[in-house]
Amino acid sequence: RTHGWIRSVSHMGELVAAPKPGARAAEILASKLPAQALVGVIGLDSLPWTTAEPLLAAGWGPRLVDATAAYITVRHPGDDAEHAMARTARAIAEHAIAAIPATARKTSEVLAALDGAARLAGAEEVLPRIAPDLGRSATLLRIEGDQELGRRYAVDCSMAYKGVWVRVIQSMTRGAPPTSWGDAEAWFDDMLQDVGGSRSMADLVATAPAEVTSWALEASIGVAPLSVVACSDRPAVQALPPNSLAVFSVQLALSDGPWLRSAPLRLGAGALAKASAEPVTA
């Protein structure tokens, strides 16, 4: 059902669907490769056992090698076409968040408005999360069922457009936002221009208008749409070249409570273009 879409957003030489992918992969490898050939696997350590076991049983185990590093060199930096699609994806995500009713009192109202607006604007997949009440917790959750919203909450709209994933997180409030939010937003916009540039992340977060509770830099470096490449509590996982497409997320401990924000950017080249206020068409 999704073969056409997968082909349109990838560079696959051959696409095969099978109820038992490991067994089918072993058959294809045996028919197409010499006996001693090496087989590159992106994210080898996370290869599901149900896929790996038939490959091991067929004798491919010693010849499976991790191809993640090779994938990253091909995947990054992005080209102009990918950046254009990422800008559209950001526009869709921001449009979807803007569609949330100001009078929303339940998480179901937020999710329905966000998901509906994003998909009508061309999103292929939407993975929303909510921190329902910033006064109680700033943890973003995949909500099961329905919950009451606090006066201030945060929304994460992670979504794909033509195979390009972005994440946009915004803090929301009923009524006028506090002055501290405006200061935090201005700092965030300015700081995005330097992420991945000559200044270290320690220097950048030191300029924040409040304590930085956490930050994370994510990009496509494996089988997941977005993976952490650097964050506040551990060293960089993977260095990426300038102009790579990434997502920067931060949480500040403002005097009147937590504030969360996230946006896509090009490393060393600043934030992607701001979204239009007009609805986006696919």
- Higher-confidence residue of 230 and 272: namely 230
Q: Quick one: pLDDT at residue 254?
A: 97
Q: Quick one: pLDDT at residue 235?
A: 65
Residue 9 has pLDDT above 80, yes or no: no
| Confidence tier at 273 by pLDDT (50, 70, 90) | low
Region 232-246: mean pLDDT is 84
State pLDDT tens for residues 190-209.
Answer: 999 888 887 888 888 899 99
Question: For the domain 80-271, what is the CATH superfamily, name and number?
Answer: Creatinase/methionine aminopeptidase superfamily (3.90.230.10)
The overall average pLDDT reported for the chain is 90
Residue 246 has pLDDT above 60, yes or no: yes
Q: Quick one: pLDDT at residue 279?
A: 47
| Confidence tier at 282 by pLDDT (50, 70, 90) | very low
Q: Quick one: pLDDT at residue 127?
A: 96
Q: Quick one: pLDDT at residue 145?
A: 86
State pLDDT tens for residues 60-99.
Answer: 999 999 999 999 998 899 888 899 999 999 999 999 999 9
Q: Quick one: pLDDT at residue 90?
A: 95
What residue ranges of the chain are covered by domains with CATH 3.90.230.10?
80-271
Rounded distance between C-alpha atoms, residue 64 and residue 17, angstroms: 21
